[in-house]
């Protein structure tokens, strides 16, 4: 289980590749990997967005993400999980969050991955302040999970 | 007793302060910590509360030295 909070740019594909290389216990046992990558779009709620400031509560956010990863690990049969979340100044197309799980089977992998990102969006202490075409604006709610 | 009170995001901008100490009688609740730290401002409807990095309700009791935090609905991910 790895949980990383960083103000540096995230290359999710490199992180996944690095994980694959590092975790020897996956070999032969991992039949399923589920991955979510969230990145910044250039519009939200009808406004063009140029950049974003992503605030967090360091001690609480870190603690929450660790507990979240543990709860997924207890609920599903996972070989490994990874959560990486960015904070600070974010540009359009930057990766904001990477959630990945490694499991024996796809049912576990899909369910755990979905749980991690939905819970994170619902409860992890982060707040986004967008720089829009008409000035700065705090995001008040997340986009819904179901289309 | 003294508690540390922190405000985040748009709530910090509304209240006008990020971090302050509040003096409270014992026992006291999270709601009372809000009142002490904001000069009796009304507690907004959708505010989330935490004590020592765990989510709590406004009715939760606080102890000497606790860190109480107030913030708007979260928007990470």
Dump pLDDT digits (tens) for B37-77. Answer: 999 999 998 999 999 999 999 999 999 999 999 999 999 99
Considering only CB atoms, A138 lies closest to which of B10, B50, B76, namely: B10
Q: What is the pLDDT of residues B27-41, one digit of tens each?
A: 999 999 999 999 999
Residue with token string 């576990």:
A108
**Taking 80 as the threshold, does the pLDDT of residue A86 lie above it?**
yes
Least confident range of A17-26, A65-74, A128-137: A17-26
Answer yes or no: do A97 and B8 touch at CB < 8 A: no
Predicted confidence band at A48 (pLDDT cuts at 50, 70, 90)? very high
Which of B60, B53, B54, B68 is CA-nearest to residue B19? B68
Residue A87 CA from chain centroid, whole number: 11
Answer yes or no: do B75 and A117 touch at CB < 8 A: no
Residues A97, A31 contacting (CB under 8 angstroms) = no
Answer yes or no: do A127 and B76 touch at CB < 8 A: yes
Residues A12, A38 contacting (CB under 8 angstroms) = no
Tell me what pLDDT residue A79 has: 95
Considering only CB atoms, B69 lies closest to which of A57, A117, A138, namely: A57
The SS3 call for residue A127 is strand
Which of A91, A92, A72, A82 is CA-nearest to residue A13? A82
Put simply, whether B1 touches A (Cβ < 8 Å) is: no
C-alpha angle with apex A24: A102 to A71, nearest 5 degrees? 35
Considering only CB atoms, B77 lies closest to which of A64, A97, A140, namely: A97
Considering only CB atoms, B75 lies closest to which of A59, A117, A139, namely: A139
Answer yes or no: do A122 and B69 touch at CB < 8 A: no
Backbone angles phi, psi at A68, to 5 degrees: -65, -45
* Burial A16-25, CB ≥16 within 10 A → b, else e: beebeeeeee
Put simply, whether B58 touches A (Cβ < 8 Å) is: no
Q: How far is A28 from chain B (nearest CA, A)?
A: 31
From residue A144, alpha-carbon distances to A48, A82, A118, A141, B75 in Å are 19, 23, 10, 9, 11
Query: Average pLDDT for residues A51-55, to the nearest whole number?
Result: 98
Structure tokens at A89: 């100044």
Can you name the residues that pair with A99 across neighbouring β-strands?
A36, A83
**Taking 70 as the threshold, does the pLDDT of residue A117 lie above it?**
yes
Residue of B nearest to A144 (CA): B75
Predicted confidence band at A147 (pLDDT cuts at 50, 70, 90)? low
Q: What is the pLDDT of residues A4-40, one digit of tens each?
A: 999 999 999 999 999 999 887 778 999 999 999 999 9
Q: How far is B48 from chain A (nearest CA, A)?
A: 10
**Taking 80 as the threshold, does the pLDDT of residue A143 lie above it?**
no
Structure tokens at B19: 């971090």
């Amino acid at each position: 289980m790895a949980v990383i909070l960083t103000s540096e740019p995230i290359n999710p594909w490199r992180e996944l590749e690095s994980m694959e290389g590092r975790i020897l216990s996956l070999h032969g046992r991992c039949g399923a990997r589920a991955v979510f990558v969230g990145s910044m779009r250039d519009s939200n709620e009808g406004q063009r967005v140029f950049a974003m400031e992503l605030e967090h509560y360091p001690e609480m956010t870190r603690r929450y993400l660790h507990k979240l990863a543990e709860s997924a690990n207890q609920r599903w049969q996972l070989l490994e999980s990874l959560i990486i979340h960015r904070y600070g100044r974010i540009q359009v197309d930057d990766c904001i969050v990477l959630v990945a799980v490694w499991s024996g089977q796809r049912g576990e992998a899909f369910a755990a991955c979905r749980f991690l990102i939905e819970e994170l969006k619902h409860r992890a202490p982060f707040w986004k302040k967008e720089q829009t075409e008409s000035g700065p604006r705090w995001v008040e709610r997340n986009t819904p999970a179901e289309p | 007793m003294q508690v540390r009170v922190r405000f985040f995001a748009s709530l910090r901008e509304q209240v006008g302060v990020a971090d302050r100490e509040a003096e409270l009688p014992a026992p006291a609740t999270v709601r009372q910590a809000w009142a002490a730290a904001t000069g009796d401002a009304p507690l907004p409807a959708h505010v989330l509360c935490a004590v020592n990095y765990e989510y709590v309700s406004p009715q939760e009791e606080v102890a000497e030295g606790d860190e109480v935090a107030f913030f708007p609905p979260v928007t990470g991910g």
